[in-house]
Structure 1
Amino acid sequence: MGSSEIIAILDAVKSLVSALNSLSSGSAGGGAASGSLDTSSLSSLS
């Protein structure tokens, strides 16, 4: 369990969040706003 594994997991979560953002932005703006907040919080963690 090294830091590289944690970074890899964070990157995977970020890619999932960005994918959800692109989907939600096409239908609802509220989902994209909450998703961008999650991305910023993840960026501060890493």
Structure 2
Amino acid sequence: MAVTEHGHNPVSEDVVRRHEAGWHAFTRFLTLATAGVIAVLVFMAIFLV
């Protein structure tokens, strides 16, 4: 984090926690969506060949 020349952090810890939770949720969603797409492609390869 950026620290000002006065030595304190200008960003609220609550904001950081909220953004961190949002990124964790986003990456979890992307992981599950990617796994879902891979599963659909595997099933298509099995049943459509």
**Normalising TM by the smaller chain, what interval?**
0.5 to 0.7
Pairing 1:7-26 to 2, within 5 Å after superposition:
7-26=26-45
The structure in which a higher percent of residues are helix is 1
State the structure with more CA Rg: 2
Residues in 1 aligned to 2:29 and 2:47: alpha-carbon distance in whole angstroms: 25
Taking CA–CA contacts closer than 8 Å with sequence separation of 6 or more, which of the two structures ends up with the larger relative contact order? 1
Which stretches in structure 2 are left out of the alignment for 5+ residues?
Answer: 1-19
Pairing 1:2-41 to 2, within 5 Å after superposition:
2-28=21-47
Q: Size of the alignment, in residue pairs? A: 29
Which stretches in structure 1 are left out of the alignment for 5+ residues?
Answer: 30-46
Q: Which runs of 4+ in 1 moved over 4 A?
A: none
